[in-house]
Chains A and B, each alone.
Chain A
Amino acid sequence: MKKEYTLTIFTENKIGLLHRITVIFTRRKLNIESLNTSESEIRGIYRFTIVVTVTESMVQTLVKQIEKQIGILKAFYHTLEEIVYQEIALYKVPTHAFADGNEVEKLIRNHNARILRIEPEYIIVEKTGHKEETQQLFRDLEQFGILQFARSGRIALTKQIKEITAYLKELEMQQDET
C-alpha cells in the first residue's frame, strides 16, 4: 500500500549530491512531491527533506540506495506520526479585494495568516502550516483573485530522541580499516 513518507537525508555539502539523489527517484519514475535542503544543526552537514508517496518496501530501497551514495552520511524515512513538520505559503492578492467589506481580513485572521506587505496594487499574505491548511486558505482567497502563489517544500524534525550525531559516531565505529 502506498503512503506518504518523509525522507530525511544528511549529507556532506558536495556539489552534485542533489543530482545523485534525484536520479534515484527519476530512474523509477517516482515523483518527488517536495524537496528542501538547508544546513543542519551541525556545521557543514546538510539536511535534505524529501516527500514521496510509495510503498514501504520501496521507501526502504530508496533510503538504502540514497545512503549508498558517496557523500551521504545517513538517510531515514518517517511517517507523518514520527515527525513535526511545516510548510510556508505566500499569496499575492489585489489590494482592492480588501477594500470591499472585511471578509478578507476575517479570513486571514481565522487562518492565522499574516500580512507581509501592503502596496497600492497588491497585498502579500503569508501562512505556515500543513499542506491542507495552506491549500484551504488558497481556496478561500481564490474568489478575490490570487495574483501569485508559492508554497515551500516541507521541512521536518523528527520526534525520535536519538540525534544524528549519535548515528555519525556509530558510522565511525561500524567500519574496519581496509
Chain B
Amino acid sequence: MQTKTDARKAGKQETIERISGAEALMRALIIEGVDTIFGYIGGAIMPVYDALMNYEDKVRHVMVRHEQGAMHAAQAYARIKRRPGVVFTTSGPGATNTVTGLADAMLDSTPLVVITGQVGAAMLGTDAFQETDVVSVSMPLTKWNYQITCADEIPEVLAKAFFYANSGRPGPVVIDITKNAQFDEVDFDYKKISRVSSYVAKPRPDIADIDKAADLINAAKSPLVLVGQGVAISGAQEEFKTFVEKAGLPVASTLLGLSAFPSNHALFTGMLGMHGNYAPNINTNKCDVLIAIGMRFDDRVTGNLETYAKQAKIIHIEIDPSEVDKNVKTDVAIVSDAKQALELLTPKVKNNSHEDWLKSFAKLHEVEYEKVIRKDIHPTKGMMHMGEVINRVSEKTKGEALIVTDVGQHQMASARYYQFNKKDSLITSGGLGTMGFGIPAGMGAAIAKPDRPIFVFVGDGGFQMTVQELGTLAQYHLPVKIILLNNNYLGMVRQWQELFFDGRYASTELVNPDFLKIAEGFGVPGKQISDREALDSTLDELLNVEGPFLLEVKVQKMGNIFPMIPAGATVSDMRLE
C-alpha cells in the first residue's frame, strides 16, 4: 500500500485517494510519526483495528489487559519520547476506563492522542449499546476533545489533535469517532498543522521582563531556583545548567522536575515539598529571589501559601499564562517556553557564586542526614528500609537507570534516595498521585527505551491495582524490573493515620496474596527477599535479568517517610521526625 508521503518521495504526482475513515486515521497516525499504539479492541473501534492490520510493519500495537494500563503506558512513552502517546479504545466501558489516565496526563502535562470508538452517528443520544457521552465525560480532563461523526473530518481533526496535544503546555486530547465515520469514505488529503490562529502555542517572551528578571538575579544575595517538569518538556536541560552555573544559583526540584538537573551536581540541593529535602524547603523561606522555571506551585510544593516565600521576590518562567499568579503572586512573570526564556536570560546574568548561601544548604542537609537519611539508607537492625533498597539500586546503577514509580511511601523514598544523574530518568504520577500507575508506566517506558535499565518501584497496594499488566509484560517480554516494596500496608495513608489520626489504622492493613505465585501465573519470574544480607547479591542478579522480573522485598511495616511538611503547614516548619 502506498501512502502519500511515499508517493511524494518517489516524485510521483500526488493523487488524492478515496479511502475509508479507518484507513485515513491510520495514515494520519503514520504521517504524524506514530510508531506505537497502546490499546484494547471492542465493537465500536473494530474498523480501525481492521485497518491497523494493514500497517503492522510500520506501527506496533501493544495489546494491554485494561484500558487504564494503555493510558499509563502511553503516558510514560510520551514523557520519554516527548511526542504524543497514542491509545485506541472502544466506546462505553473502553472509553470510561481511560478517565484516570486522562486526569493524570492533564495534571502532569502529558501529550496523548486517545482515539475512542463511538456508536454510529444516527444512534448518538439514544442510550445505544455501549454508548457513553465521552466528549462530556472527558471535557474537564482534556486539553481538547472532539467527536468525529463523518469521515471527511478525520484528516483535519487528527492534524489538530497532534498539534494541540504536543504544543504549548502539552496535554491529552480525546478524539471520539463514530462507527459510521470509520466505515465511510473520505478524500484523503492530510496537512500537518503547526499553527492555529486562535491558539498561542509558543508565546514570545517580553524582553522587558527578561531584563527585570536579570536585574533581580544579578542583585540577589541568596537566590534559589526551582526546576519543574517544564524544563524537561522544553528540552532545556542544558540551557538550564548553563544558566544556574553561570549565576551560581542553588537548584531545588519539584517531584516531576527530578532528573532535569543532575542530582550529583554541586548546585543541586534536593527536592521540594511535603516529603522533599530539608534544606531547600527551609531556605525557600530565607531566599531573597525565587526563580521558578516550568513549575506551577502545586500545594504539595508550597504548603501554606500565606506563609510561602513572603520575603522573596518571585520570578516565574512558565508557558501557561493561567498558572502565573494563580497560587503565588509574582514580581516578574515570563510567559514563555523555558528554553526560549533561558536562552534570552543567561547572557544577561552575571557570573556569580553564592558560597555562603550554598553552605547554608549544606549545613541543613547535614541535619537531615543525621536525623533522617543515615537511618534510612544505612539501618543496621530490624527489617529492611525502603530507603536502603533504593539507595543500593541507585549506587549499583550509578544513578543512570530509568526509574518508574507507583504512588505512596515507596514513591517518595524513590524520589528522595535515587540519584538522578541522567536526564529523563523519572516517570511518576505527580499531580494526580495515581496508585496503579507504576507497572503500566514501566511497560510504556520499556517500549520507549528498551536499551536503558528500567526499574519500577511499587507498593503492595498499588501493585494490585494494575497487576493484570504483568500479562502484557510477559507477552512482549519487556525488560521491566519490578521492585515491590512490601510493607504489608497502604503505607503512606497508614503514616498519616499514625501522625494525624491517633494511630487508628482504619482499612490500611493489607491481606496480601502470594505475589510470586501471581507473577509466575502471568509468566513473570520472581524472587522474594527479607534479609538485608541478601540484598546486594540479589540486586546484582536483577541487573542481569533480561525481560520482566518481580523482586519482592519485605520491608519494615511501620516505616515513615520523613522529613514532612504536614498538609497546609508552612514549608519552613518541616518536621524531621
Contacts and interface: CB of A to CB of B under 8 A. Distances in A.
Interface of A: 12, 16, 19-20, 23, 27, 57, 60-61, 64-65, 67-68, 70-73, 168, 171-172, 174-178
B140 interface: yes
Contacts of A171: 197-198, 200
Interface residues of B, number: 28
A12 B160 CA distance: 15
B201 A178 contact: yes
B320 A68 contact: yes
Shortest beta-carbon contacts, A-B, top 4: A64-B322, A70-B144, A176-B202, A175-B200
A163 to B, nearest CB: 17
Given A70-B199, A171-B200, A23 B140 contact: yes
A39 to B, nearest CB: 16
B325 interface: yes
Nearest to A173: B204
Given A16-B145, A67-B322, A174-B203, 5 more contacts: A19-B136, A23-B139, A71-B198, A168-B197, A178-B194
B13 to A, nearest CB: 28
B202 A61 contact: no
B139 A177 contact: no
Given A64-B322, A67-B321, A70-B144, A12 B204 contact: no
B508 interface: no
B339 to A, nearest CB: 12
26 contacts: A16-B139, A16-B145, A19-B136, A23-B140, A27-B140, A61-B326, A64-B322, A64-B324, A64-B326, A65-B322, A67-B321, A67-B322, A70-B164, A70-B196, A70-B198, A168-B197, A171-B198, A172-B197, A174-B200, A175-B200, A175-B202, A175-B203, A176-B204, A177-B195, A178-B167, A178-B195
B555 to A, nearest CB: 39
Contacts of B146: 16
B109 to A, nearest CB: 12
Contacts of B136: 19
B322 A12 contact: no
B377 interface: no
B143 interface: yes
Interface string B360-402: 0000000000000000000000000000000000000000000
A172 B320 CA distance: 17
